[in-house]
Chain A
Amino acid sequence: MSDQATQAPVKAQSPQAPVKAQSPLSEAWDMFKHNHAAMLGLVLLVIIILGAVFGPYLYPGEPFEMVWAPFTPPGTDGYLLGTDYLGRDLLAQIIHGSRVTLIIGLSAAIVTVVIGVTIGALAGFYRGMVEEALMRFTEFFQVLPTLLFSMVIVALFGASLPMITLAIGIVSWTAVARITRSEFLRIRELEYVMASRASGASNAKLMFKVILPNALPPIIVQSALMVGSAILFEAGLSFLGLTDPNVISWGQIIGSNRQYILESSFTVTIPGLAIFITVLAISLVGDGLNDALNPKLRKR
Chain B
Amino acid sequence: MEPLLKVENLRIELKTRAGVAPVIDNLNFELGRNESISFVGESGCGKSMTALALMGLLPEGIGRIASGKIIFDGEDLTQASESRLRDLRGNEISMIFQEPMTSLNPVYTVGEQIAEVLREHQNLSKPAAHKAAIELLDAVRIPNPQSRVDDYPFQMSGGQRQRVMIAIALACKPKILIADEPTTALDVTVQAQIFDLLRDLREQTGTSIIMITHDMGAVAEMAERMIVMYAGRKAEEGPVQQIIEHARHPYTKGLISCVPHIMADPAFEREELTEITGIVPGLGSFGQDKCLFSERCSMVTDQCLGARPPEVDFPNGQSAACWRAEEV
Are A and B in contact, CB atoms below 8 Å, in the complex?
Answer: yes
Taking Cβ atoms with an 8 Å cutoff, the residues of A that contact B are: 1, 4-5, 7, 9, 11, 13-14, 299-300
Give the residue of B16, B278, B284 whose beta carbon is less than 8 angstroms from that of A14. B278
Closest chain B residue, CB of each to CB of A11: B278
Give the residue of A7, A11, A14, A300 whose beta carbon is less than 8 angstroms from that of B282. A7
Closest chain B residue, CB of each to CB of A1: B44
Q: Could you tell me if B17 and A1 are in contact, using CB atoms closer than 8 angstroms?
A: no
Give the residue of B14, B277, B281 whose beta carbon is less than 8 angstroms from that of A1. B14
Contact status of A5 and B17, CB under 8 A, knowing A11-B277, A11-B278, A13-B278: yes
* B280, CB-defined interface residue at 8 Å: yes
Q: Mark B147-159, 1 if CB is under 8 A from A, else 0.
A: 0000000000000
Q: Could you tell me if B278 and A4 are in contact, using CB atoms closer than 8 angstroms?
A: no
A-B contact pairs, 24 of them (CB 8 A): A1-B14, A1-B23, A1-B44, A1-B48, A1-B49, A1-B283, A4-B44, A4-B280, A4-B282, A4-B283, A5-B16, A5-B17, A5-B282, A5-B284, A7-B279, A9-B279, A9-B281, A9-B282, A9-B285, A11-B278, A11-B279, A13-B278, A14-B278, A300-B17
Output the least CB separation between B8 and chain A (Å): 24
What size tier do the contact residues of chain B reach?
10 to 19
* B295, CB-defined interface residue at 8 Å: yes
Q: Which residues of A contact B280 (CB under 8 A)?
A: 4
Output the least CB separation between B107 and chain A (Å): 23
Output the least CB separation between B24 and chain A (Å): 12
Top 8 closest pairs, chain A to chain B, by CB: A4-B44, A11-B278, A4-B282, A9-B282, A13-B277, A5-B282, A4-B283, A5-B283
Output the least CB separation between B229 and chain A (Å): 13
Output the least CB separation between B277 and chain A (Å): 6
Closest chain A residue, CB of each to CB of B48: A1
Closest chain B residue, CB of each to CB of A299: B17
CA distance A4 to B49 in the complex (A): 14
Closest chain A residue, CB of each to CB of B49: A1
CA distance A40 to B284 in the complex (A): 32
Q: Which residues of B contact A1 (CB under 8 A)?
A: 14, 23, 44, 48-49, 283
Q: Which residues of B contact A11 (CB under 8 A)?
A: 277-279
Q: Which residues of A contact B284 (CB under 8 A)?
A: 5
Q: Which residues of A contact B278 (CB under 8 A)?
A: 11, 13-14
Q: Which residues of A contact B43 (CB under 8 A)?
A: 4
Closest chain A residue, CB of each to CB of B281: A9
CA distance A13 to B277 in the complex (A): 8
Output the least CB separation between A13 and chain B (Å): 6
Output the least CB separation between B299 and chain A (Å): 16
CA distance A13 to B296 in the complex (A): 10
CA distance A70 to B16 in the complex (A): 60
Give 13 A-B pairs besides A1-B14, A11-B279 with Cβ atoms closer than 8 angstroms.
A1-B48, A1-B49, A4-B43, A4-B280, A4-B282, A9-B279, A9-B285, A11-B277, A11-B278, A13-B277, A13-B278, A14-B278, A300-B17
Q: Which of B263-299 contact A (CB under 8 A)?
A: 277-285, 295
Of A9, A11, A14, A300, most B-chain CB atoms within 10 Å:
A9
Q: Which residues of B contact A299 (CB under 8 A)?
A: 17
Closest chain B residue, CB of each to CB of A34: B17
CA distance A235 to B47 in the complex (A): 58
Output the least CB separation between A228 and chain B (Å): 31
Q: Which residues of B contact A4 (CB under 8 A)?
A: 43-44, 280, 282-283
CA distance A299 to B279 in the complex (A): 19
Q: Which residues of B contact A300 (CB under 8 A)?
A: 17
Q: Which residues of A contact B49 (CB under 8 A)?
A: 1
Q: Mark B1-40, 1 if CB is under 8 A from A, else 0.
A: 0000000000000101100000100000000000000000
CA distance A182 to B49 in the complex (A): 35
Output the least CB separation between B296 and chain A (Å): 9
Q: Which residues of B contact A5 (CB under 8 A)?
A: 16-17, 282-284
Q: Which residues of A contact B282 (CB under 8 A)?
A: 4-5, 7, 9
CA distance A13 to B280 in the complex (A): 14
Q: Which residues of A contact B281 (CB under 8 A)?
A: 9
Output the least CB separation between A288 and chain B (Å): 18
CA distance A14 to B278 in the complex (A): 9
CA distance A275 to B277 in the complex (A): 59
Q: Mark B36-77, 1 if CB is under 8 A from A, else 0.
A: 000000011000110000000000000000000000000000
CA distance A9 to B292 in the complex (A): 14
